[in-house]
Amino acid sequence: MSATHFRWPGFDTVLNAFAMWFLAFMWALPLLYAIWTAFHPAAYETNFVWNAPLTLDNFAKAWAAAPFARYFLNTFMLVTMILICQFVLCTLAAFAFARFTFPGRGILFALVLLQLLVMPDILIVENYKTIRSLELVDTILAIGLPYFASGFGIFLLRQTFMSVPRELDDAARVEGTSFLGLLWKVYIPLAKPTYLAYGLVSVSHHWNNFLWPLIITNSVETRPVTVGLSVFAAIDAGLEWSVINAATLMTSGPLLIAFLLFQRQFVQSFMRAGIR
Amino acid sequence: MKPLVKMKNCIASIALTMGVATSAQAVDLEFYFPVAVGGKAADTIQALTDEYVAANPGVNIDAVYSGSYGDTVTKALTASRGGKPPQLSVILSVDMFTLIDEEVIMPFDDLVKTDEDKAWLQSFYPAFMENSQTGGKTYGIPFQRSTPVLYWNKEAFAEVGLDPEKPPASWEETIEMGKKLVKKDADGNTSRWGVRIPSSGFPYWLFQGLSTQNDVVLANSDGNETYFDDPKVAEALQYLVDLSTKHEVMAPGIIEWGATPKAFFEGQTAMMWTSTGNLTNVRENAPFDFGVGLLPGNKRFGAPTGGGNFYIFADSSDEQKVAAFDFVKWISQPAQSAKWTIATGYVAPRPDTWDTAEMKAYTDDFAPALVARDQLEFAVAELSTYENQRVTAAFNDALAAAITGTKSVGDALAEAQKKADAILKDYR
């Protein structure tokens, strides 16, 4: 119990801080490289000179390589549509699983969970057949349709709804609230962090999805940005890193900016929603 | 609600009658094409398709960009199994056996009627047709085809006292010249390698150059037998490994495809082996005088061919098949073929394309483009078998294991042969 004159920070504190910075740096490195190459002429792709001339040519080149304006619009419509449908369907299903007892509930919920175990890629042919029989091939709806009833979303929301205190539920019922009113006024507000976290996962997943949209769509009017981005993977002709990175920044830019804007909410909601 | 439904039905029936009406006059074709050389290729295909449609009012062609070669075969097979195949697609020539196995494509022979058609079928370079025919039938028509060539840095050659106009012509010369070209900095690190033979992703392709030069084939033309454990194959692989380990003229380990042209421009290697698809890229970006030559030979000269063919899908109406056949005939004519080659750098697949005025002007201006054509005389079919992806994956793994030194050359190849035998057993 001697008096301490000066306290060195503990060894593990230093180690933690160092590891943290190191990991953060390693994580950011590809992004930093992308930013470097995107804003400099191709000659500086592998030469790091402080006063290298800045340029926006790479972005102009990338933008001209595919109808990106239309692709952005399509992607935006796609992720919005998927998010809205997922929220509605998953909320209703999760509420039913969380607060109602009905015959076959256990089996149905097991089926929903089963969806989490099946790789979506395995179902591509079956999904294609379904979409074709609905005559929806080459529509934005067709890209989103297989993802509307998300097993992950239902599971996540059910867990959240089940953690809502019974007392709140009972109190609202005593007031004579309908089931939908109960859902709208009690459950959904309390599950806000989960919605935010799930929304982020969903939007970024569908923003980046490539193979299914490529297969089910044929025209510029329906295709998302990832399909535009794939034009740059031209292995036969040598890769132009500066243009590829400009295109990558351009297509992932909206997501990055949105994430930075809502960073605090996202981090908090991830902590609360328990997806880490 | 009711009136809305009624209106919908009404619109649907109008659309239906209109659909029937147009299909009575016009044939609709769906045409999938991959892009492996950047966005300009997509524009050229679109422009050519538009030109054809404008000249042939009875036909509508929907040219659909379908990603990389791998994506394209996935998309075409998915659409076929889903009951809505394209009528036409450009797919890798090596996927022929897979497509036959899936029963989605049809031979061109069934559509060949006139003597003119027969002559057309004979008009392509035999090196390209090797990958397009099996069992006496032609399933693919060469379109975006390439072959690997040697690029060398003339300035580097002059700098070390080599004749800048004379690239290595044999395996030994590659080693000799390579040793002279290797440059080390003050710390003893190599700042310039002699040669770069990319081995990432699909090492079998360039390796096939080496095996052909050693006068051995990797698979039979029926696509059901491989010869990976042949001693001559082992010799070729040992040479490739020795370039890095024994002679130290090539960087050790797996060498990236995508980064190879860049390394060449930056002077990190004095020579590289890569596809003719890079000609335009090198021409525009190399800051020094460069040469393009045949791959060096050993027992003989040799190189694989690569790239994509046209296929016609079986599950189409007779009118569609005839229209698709006509389109393929048209786009492979010298005039169209020359436009395509000049825009992309792909090797024109028939001799008479090279005789057109456009191609003459192009090759007068840029002689290296002729090297690919001259090499066709020595070129062989790219490795292709039934279950192609699984067989080449086994072979690629073996090559990678030998290159990185995790397995001996003999063990790696014997293992690959065993795997290939197991896969191909059912096709013999």
A100-109: long-range contacts at Cβ-Cβ below 8 A with a sequence spacing of 24 or more? A109/A158
Name the CATH architecture for the domain at B24-146+306-371: 3-Layer(aba) Sandwich (3.40)
**Residues B325-367 pLDDT 10s:** 999 999 999 999 999 988 888 899 999 999 999 999 999 998 8
Q: Residues B324, B29: contact at Cβ < 8 Å?
A: yes
Name the percent of chain A lying above pLDDT 90: 44
Record the pTM: 0.82
Contact at CB, A237 and B36, closer than 8 angstroms: yes
pLDDT at B375: 92
For residue B258, what are its two tokens?
Answer: 């995508």
Dist CA A237 CA B261 (whole Å): 9
- Do residues B146 and B307 lie in contact, with contact meaning Cβ atoms separated by under 8 Å? yes
- Rounded mean pLDDT of B221-229? 91
| Domain range annotation of chain B | 24-146+306-371, 148-304+387-427
Q: Give the A window 236-275 contacts with B, CB below 8 Å.
A: 236-241
What are the residue ranges of helices labelled H in B195-295? 204-213, 231-245, 260-265, 279-285
Residue A230: its chain B contacts at CB < 8 A?
Answer: 67-68, 71
What share of chain B has pLDDT > 70, as a percent?
94
> Across residues A135-153, what is the average pLDDT?
92
C-alpha B241/C-alpha B246 separation (Å) is 8
- Chain A segment 182-211 residues within 8 A of B by beta carbon are 210-211
Q: Does A164 touch chain B (CB under 8 A)?
A: no
Structure confidence by residue, pLDDT tens digits, B162-213 = 999 999 999 999 999 999 999 988 888 889 999 999 998 889 999 999 999 9
How far does the CA of residue B81 sit from the closest CA of chain A (Å)? 7
Please judge whether A233 and B83 are an interchain contact, meaning their C-beta atoms are less than 8 angstroms apart: no
Mean pLDDT, rounded, for B254-262: 88
Contact B74 A211 (CB under 8 A): yes
Of B343, B350, B306, the C-alpha closest to B329 is B350
Residue B223 has pLDDT above 80, yes or no: yes
- Taking any CB pair shorter than 8 Å as contact, residues of chain B touching chain A are 30, 35-39, 42, 62, 64-68, 71, 74-75, 78-79, 81-84, 146, 201, 257-262, 266, 274-275, 277-278, 280-282, 285, 307, 345
Beta bridge partners of B290: B153
Per-residue pLDDT reduced to its tens digit, A52-106: 788 888 898 888 888 889 999 999 999 999 999 999 999 999 999 998 999 999 9
Pick from A236, A241, A244, A245 the residue to mutate for testing the B interface (most B CBs within 10 Å).
A236
Contact B38 A231 (CB under 8 A): yes
Is B148-304+387-427 a domain of CATH 3.40.190.10?
yes
pLDDT of residue B10: 44
Nearest beta carbon to residue A46 from set B37, B266, B278: B266
Q: Measured between CA atoms, how close is B74 to chain A, in angstroms? A: 8
Those residues whose C-beta lies under 8 Å from the C-beta of residue A259, and which sit 6 or more positions away, are A200, A266
What's the mean pLDDT when you consider all of chain B?
89
Record the tokens describing residue B260, joined without a space: 């190879």
Residue A7 burial (CB count, 10 A) = 6
- Interface with chain A: mutation pick from B49, B71, B88, B146, highest number of A CBs within 10 Å: B71
**Which pLDDT score is estimated for B338?**
93
Distance CA B294, CA B109 (A): 34
A42 to B71: CB separation less than 8 angstroms, yes or no: no
| Cα maximum dimension of chain A | 81
Average pLDDT over residues B302-312: 93
Gap between the terminal Cα atoms of chain B: 63
Q: What is the pLDDT, as a whole number, of residue B389?
A: 87
CB B62 to CB A66 under 8 A? Answer: no
Question: At residue A275, does pLDDT exceed 70?
Answer: no
What is the pLDDT, as a whole number, of residue A50?
A: 77
Mean pLDDT for B403-411 is: 94
What is the average pLDDT across A18-35? Answer: 91
CB contact under 8 Å between A234 and B37, yes or no, is yes
pLDDT value at position B15? Answer: 43
- Token representation of residue B148: 């690997």
Contact at CB, A238 and B260, closer than 8 angstroms: yes
Interface test with B, best of A130, A235, A240 (most B CBs within 10 A): A235
Nearest to B262 among A45, A129, A132 (CB): A45
Mean pLDDT (whole number) for B254-265: 88
What pLDDT score was predicted for residue A274?
Answer: 57
Residue B259 to chain A, least CA–CA distance (Å): 7
Determine contact, residues B359/B341, Cβ cutoff 8 Å. Answer: yes
* Chain B residues with CB-CB distance to A58 below 8 A: none
Residue A80 token pair: 């919005």
Extents of the domains making up chain A: 59-273
Question: Has residue B286 got a pLDDT over 50?
Answer: yes
Produce one character per residue of A9-27: b if its CB has 16 or more CB atoms within 10 Å, e if not. Answer: eeeeeeeeeeeeeeeeeee
Residues of B with CB below 8 A from A65's CB? 38-39
- List, for residues A146-199, the tens digit of each pLDDT value: 999 999 999 999 999 999 888 988 898 898 888 899 999 899 999 988 898 899
* pLDDT given at position B38: 64
Shortest CA gap B126–chain A (Å): 23
Distance (Å) from the alpha carbon of A129 to chain B's nearest alpha carbon: 5
The answer to whether residue B404 scores a pLDDT higher than 70 is yes
pLDDT for B342? 87
Touching check for A124 and chain B: CB below 8 Å?
Answer: yes
**B78 with A215: Cβ contact below 8 A:** yes
Collapsed DSSP state (helix, strand, coil) of residue B275: strand
Residue with tokens 């590829």: A244
Inter-CA distances, B258 with A112, B240, B261, B270, B274, Å: 42, 19, 7, 17, 10
Same fold, B24-146+306-371 and B148-304+387-427: yes
* Under 8 Å between Cβ of B344 and B37: yes
pLDDT of B230 above 90: yes
Res. B92: pLDDT tops 50: yes
pLDDT of residue B3: 43
Superfamily of domain A59-273: MetI-like (1.10.3720.10)
Residue A106 has a pLDDT of: 92
pLDDT for residue B9: 47
pLDDT band at residue A276 under the 50/70/90 scheme: very low
Query: Sorting pLDDT into bands at 50, 70 and 90, what band is B24?
Result: very low
Determine the pLDDT at residue B262: 86
Mean pLDDT over residues B108-137, rounded?
A: 92
List chain B residues with CB under 8 Å of A210: 67
Q: Do B83 and A211 touch (CB under 8 A)?
A: no
Terminal-residue alpha carbon distance, chain A: 40
Cα(A155)–Cα(A93) distance, rounded to whole angstroms?
9
